[in-house]
Amino acid sequence: MTDTTKQDRVLIFDTTLRDGEQSPGATMTHAEKLEIAGLLDEMGVDIIEAGFPIASEGDFKAVSEIAMNSKNSVICGLARASFADIDRCMEAVKHAAQPRIHTFIGTSPLHRAIPNLNMDEMAERIHETVTHARNLCDNVQWSPMDATRTEEDYLCRVVEIAIKAGATTINIPDTVGYTAPRESAALIRMLLNRVPGADEVIFSTHCHNDLGMATANSLAAVDAGARQVECTINGLGERAGNTALEEVVMALKVRNDIMPYRTDIDTTKIMNISRRVATVSGFAVQFNKAVVGKNAFAHESGIHQDGMLKNAETFEIMRPQDVGLAGTSLPLGKHSGRAALRAKMGDLGFDLADNQLKDVFVRFKELADRKKEVYDDDLVALMRAGDDPE
Ligand code: KIV
Ligand code: ZN
299 labelled as ligand-binding? no
1 Cβ neighbours under 8 A, 6+ residues apart: 199, 200
Q: What's the mean pLDDT in 198-218?
A: 98
pLDDT digits (tens, 9 = 90+) for 230-267: 999 999 999 999 999 999 999 999 999 999 999 999 99
| Spatial separation of the C-alpha atoms in residues 341 and 290, rounded to whole Å | 27
Q: For the residues 170-198, what does the mean pLDDT come to?
A: 98
Any ligand 1 atom below 6 A from CB of 173: yes
pLDDT in tens, 149-169: 999 999 999 999 999 999 999
How remote is the CA of residue 22 from the centroid of ligand 2, in Å?
9
Question: Which residues are registered as beta bridge partners of 47?
Answer: 13, 74
Global pTM value: 0.95
With a threshold of 0.95, tell me whether the complex ipTM lies above it: yes
Ligand 1 pocket, 13 CB below 6 A? no
Local confidence band at 390 (pLDDT 50, 70, 90 cut-offs)? very low
Integer angstrom CA distances of residue 278 from 26, 213, 256, 258: 9, 22, 28, 31
Phi and psi angles of residue 325, each rounded to the nearest 5 degrees, phi first: -95, 155
77 lines ligand 1 (CB under 6 A): no
Whether 106 and 116 have beta carbons less than 8 Å apart is answered as no
Q: Residue 67 and residue 61: Cα distance in Å, rounded?
A: 10
Percent of the residues in the chain that have a pLDDT greater than 70, as a whole number: 97
Cβ neighbors of 291 (< 8 A, separation 6 or more) are 244, 246, 247, 250, 270, 318, 323
Write phi, then psi, for 51 (nearest 5 degrees).
Answer: 160, -165
pLDDT digit string, tens, across residues 72-103 = 999 999 999 999 999 999 999 999 999 999 99
Q: For 308, what's the count of Cα atoms within 13 Å in the CB-facing half-sphere? A: 25
At residue 45, the 3 state secondary structure works out as coil
User: Any binding-site annotation on 127?
Assistant: no
Q: How far apart are alpha carbons 265 and 275 in whole angstroms?
A: 17
User: How crowded is residue 17: how many other Cβ atoms within 10 Å of its Cβ?
Assistant: 29
Is 242 annotated to bind a ligand? Reply is yes
Q: Which of 277, 200, 280, 288 is nearest to 242 (CA)?
A: 277
1 pLDDT higher than 70: no
